[in-house]
């Protein structure tokens, strides 16, 4: 069988309630789930993100909100602007640059060349705050650009019949990214259906 990111990931992942286990190798310090993929090493949580949500936007990191470095449960992952080994420090607000209190990050200059990047990131589901951190400006500046460009995230809702279709298509191995495009909804809408957070009984 052809080795794909998905097939290699599946060899090691142990799906269960809560954090997922990993029965494969892990990286030395810090101990992330890891496996060989082609000539490279791939981290389990990054592979999980790509498999469940699609590509990782340039400049962003896949972080855990469960503080369990081996966990690859997509529900416990989020995109952030920090390297994960900085994450605890940031939460405690002690990181030398990223964790500085907000008022030191109130630069409102957003260059026009960044407008399309802001739009792209926002439509991918990145928060205004994280986009601001990425560009070194405050959240308000990002908000103003989005308002200027009249960009809103698509809040289109789906109905029960579509939810059933989506569930079937997921079983037929359509990716969440493909389905988000097909139904013109955000990828998290599809993800929530996939994990049963919404439309559980549809």
Question: Which residue, 70 or 124, has its beta carbon nearer to Zn ion?
Answer: 70
Q: How far is the CB of 62 from Zn ion (least distance, A)?
A: 12
The residue ranges of DSSP E strands in the chain, in sequence order, are 13-14, 21-22, 34-37, 40-43, 61-64, 77-80
Applying CB under 5 A, does 86 fall inside the site for Zn ion? no
Applying CB under 5 A, does 48 fall inside the site for Zn ion? no
DSSP string for 103-132: GGG------GGGHHHHHHHHHTT--HHHHH
Q: How far is the CB of 13 from Zn ion (least distance, A)?
A: 12
Q: Which of 66, 148, 149, 160 binds Zn ion (CB under 5 A)?
A: 66
Whole-Å CA distances, 22 to 19, 75, 121, 164: 10, 16, 30, 31
Applying CB under 5 A, does 166 fall inside the site for Zn ion? no
Whole-Å CA distances, 11 to 17, 24, 73, 95, 148: 18, 8, 15, 36, 47
Q: Which of 71, 79, 145, 163 binds Zn ion (CB under 5 A)?
A: 71
Q: Which of 19, 42, 89, 170 binds Zn ion (CB under 5 A)?
A: 19
Applying CB under 5 A, does 69 fall inside the site for Zn ion? no
Q: Which of 45, 69, 76, 124 binds Zn ion (CB under 5 A)?
A: 76
From CA 53, how far away is CA 118, in angstroms rounded?
19
Site of interaction with Zn ion (CB under 5 A): 19, 66, 68, 71, 73, 76
């Amino acid at each position: 069988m052809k080795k794909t990111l998905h097939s290699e990931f599946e060899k090691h992942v142990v799906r269960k309630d809560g954090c997922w286990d990993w029965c494969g190798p892990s990286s030395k310090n810090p101990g992330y789930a890891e496996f060989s993929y082609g000539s490279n090493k791939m981290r389990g949580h990054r592979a999980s993100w790509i498999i469940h949500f699609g590509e990782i936007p340039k400049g962003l990191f896949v972080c855990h909100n469960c503080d369990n470095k081996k966990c690859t449960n997509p529900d416990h992952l989020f995109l952030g602007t920090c390297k994960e080994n900085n994450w605890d420090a940031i939460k405690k607000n002690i990181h030398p640059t990223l964790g500085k209190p907000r008022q030191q990050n109130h630069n409102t200059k957003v260059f026009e060349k960044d407008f399309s990047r802001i739009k792209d990131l926002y439509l991918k589901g990145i928060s205004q705050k994280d986009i601001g951190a990425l560009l070194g400006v405050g959240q308000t500046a990002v908000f103003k650009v989005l308002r200027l460009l009249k960009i809103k995230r698509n809040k289109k809702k789906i109905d029960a019949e579509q939810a059933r279709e989506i569930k079937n298509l997921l079983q037929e191995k359509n990716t969440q990214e493909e389905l988000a495009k097909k139904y013109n909804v955000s990828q998290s809408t599809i993800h929530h259906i996939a994990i049963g957070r919404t439309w559980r009984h549809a």
